[in-house]
Amino acid sequence: MNALRRHRALERIWSSRPGWRGKLTTVNNNDIGLMFLIAATAFFVIGGILAMLIRAQLATPRSVFMGPDTYNQVFTMHGTIMMFLFAIPLFEGLTIYLLPKMLGTRDLAFPRLSAFGFWCYVFGGSLLIFALLAGIAPDSGWFLYPPLSSTLGSPGINPDFWLLGITFVEISAISAAVEIVVTVLLYRAPGMSLDKLPIFAWYMLIVAVMILTAFPPLILGSILLELERAFGMPFFQTESGGDSLLWQHLFWLFGHPEVYIIFLPAAGVVSTILPVMARTKLLGYGWIVAAAAFLGVLSFGLWVHHMYTTGIPHMGLAFFSAASTLVALPTGIQIFAWIGTIWKGRPEMHLPMLWIVAFFATFVIGGLTGVMVAMVPFDWQTHDTYFIVAHLHYVLIGGFVFPMLAALYYWLPHFTGRKRYFKLGETAFWLIVVGFHGTFLLLHWAGLLGMRRRINSIEASSGWEFVNLVASIGGFVMAIGFTLVLIDVTVNATVAVRGRRNPWGAGTLEWAIPAPSPSYNFASIPEVRSRYPLHDDSDLPLRIARGEGYLGTPPDSGLRQSLVVEVASGRPNHLVILPANSALPVVMALATGCFFVGMLIKTYWLVPLSALGVAALAVWWAWSLGSRADHGLQDVGRGLALPLACHAAEPTGWWGSLFLLLADGVLFGSLLFGYAFLWTVAPNWPPPSYLQPGLLGPASALGGALLTLGGSRVADQALRRGRRPWLGFALGFAGLAAIGAAASTVLAGTTYDAHAYDATLWVLAGYVLLHAAIAGLMLGFLALRVRAGYISARRIGEVRVARLWSDYAVAVALVGLGAVWLPGVLE
Partner 1 sequence: MWWVLLSGSAAIFLLVITLLLFAFRRDASDTPAAEARHERVWIWGLGFGFSIMVLAGLTVYGVLMGERLLPRPGPDVVTVRAEGAQWVWRFSYADAPGRATEHILHIPAGRPVDVEITSTDVIHSFWVPRLAGKLDAIPGHVNVLRIEAEMPGDYAGVSAEFSGVGYTGHRFIVRAHNEADWGAFLRGEVR
Burial of 236-256, coded b for 16+ CB within 10 Å and e otherwise, reads bbeebbbbbbbbbbbbbbbbb
Nearer to ligand HEM among residue 376 and residue 397 (C-beta)? 397
Nearer to partner 1 among residue 152 and residue 609 (C-beta)? 152
**CA-to-CA dists, residue 681 to 204, 226, 302, 675, 819, angstroms:** 37, 22, 19, 10, 17
Q: Cis (ω within 30 of 0) for the bond into 516? A: yes
Q: Strands (DSSP E) along 618-739, which ranges?
A: 634-637, 640-642
Q: Maximum Cα–Cα distance for the chain, whole Å?
A: 85
Backbone phi, psi, residue 580, to 5°: -95, 180
760 touching partner 1, by CB under 8 A: no
- Which value, in Å, is the radius of gyration of the alpha carbons in the chain? 27
Q: CB under 5 to 8 A by kind: which of partner 1, Cu ion, ligand HEM, none does 256 bind?
A: Cu ion
Sign of CA pseudo-dihedral 75, 78, 81, 87:
negative
CB of residue 302 to ligand HEM, shortest distance in Å: 17
Nearer to ligand HEM among residue 79 and residue 425 (C-beta)? 79
Nearer to ligand HEM among residue 478 and residue 671 (C-beta)? 478
Q: Nearest Cα to 764, choosing from 745, 743, 749?
A: 743
Q: CB under 5 to 8 A by kind: which of Cu ion, partner 1, ligand HEM, none does 311 bind?
A: partner 1
196 touching Cu ion, by CB under 5 A: no
Q: CB under 5 to 8 A by kind: which of Cu ion, partner 1, ligand HEM, none does 372 bind?
A: partner 1
Q: CB under 5 to 8 A by kind: which of Cu ion, ligand HEM, partner 1, none does 383 bind?
A: partner 1
d(CA 341, CA 713): 54
CB of residue 361 to partner 1, shortest distance in Å: 6
Strand partners, 574: 564
Site track for partner 1 across 309-338, x = CB under 8 A: xxx--x--xx--xx--xx-xx--xxxxxx-
Contact set for partner 1, span 147-206 (CB under 8 A): 147-148, 152-153
d(CA 82, CA 89): 10
Secondary structure of 125-139 as H, E, C letters = HHHHHHHHHHCCCCC
DSSP 84: I
Residue with the CB atom nearest ligand HEM in the bound state: 79
- Options 125-133, 372-380, 465-473, 687-695: segment touching partner 1 (CB under 8 A): 372-380
d(CA 550, CA 637): 5
d(CA 489, CA 731): 61
Nearer to partner 1 among residue 141 and residue 766 (C-beta)? 141
Amino acid identity at 435? G
CB of residue 211 to Cu ion, shortest distance in Å: 16
Say if residues 801 and 622 touch (Cβ distance below 8 Å): no
Nearer to partner 1 among residue 310 and residue 569 (C-beta)? 310
72 touching partner 1, by CB under 8 A: yes
Nearer to ligand HEM among residue 475 and residue 651 (C-beta)? 475
Amino acid identity at 652? T
Name residues whose C-beta falls within 8 Å of residue 338's C-beta, 6 or more positions apart in sequence: 270, 271, 274, 283, 360
Burial class (CB in 10 A: 0-12, 13-18, 19+), 5: exposed
Q: What angle do CA 30, 523, 408 make, to 5 degrees?
A: 35
Interacting residues with ligand HEM (CB under 6 A): 48, 51, 54-55, 75-76, 78-79, 82-83, 87, 141-142, 389, 393, 396-397, 400-401, 439, 453-454, 475, 478
Q: CB under 5 to 8 A by kind: which of ligand HEM, partner 1, Cu ion, none does 238 bind?
A: partner 1
Say if residues 219 and 667 touch (Cβ distance below 8 Å): yes
CB of residue 665 to Cu ion, shortest distance in Å: 24
| DSSP H or E stretch at residue 578 | strand 572-578
56 touching partner 1, by CB under 8 A: no
112 touching Cu ion, by CB under 5 A: no
Nearer to partner 1 among residue 311 and residue 722 (C-beta)? 311
Contact pick of 384, 537, 548, 753 for partner 1 (by CB under 8 A): 384
CB of residue 370 to partner 1, shortest distance in Å: 10
CB of residue 259 to partner 1, shortest distance in Å: 18
Contact pick of 175, 592, 684, 708 for partner 1 (by CB under 8 A): 684
Q: CB under 5 to 8 A by kind: which of partner 1, ligand HEM, Cu ion, none does 325 bind?
A: partner 1
Q: CB under 5 to 8 A by kind: which of Cu ion, ligand HEM, partner 1, none does 632 bind?
A: none
Contact set for Cu ion, span 241-260 (CB under 5 A): 256
Binding footprint of Cu ion on the chain (CB under 5 A)? 256
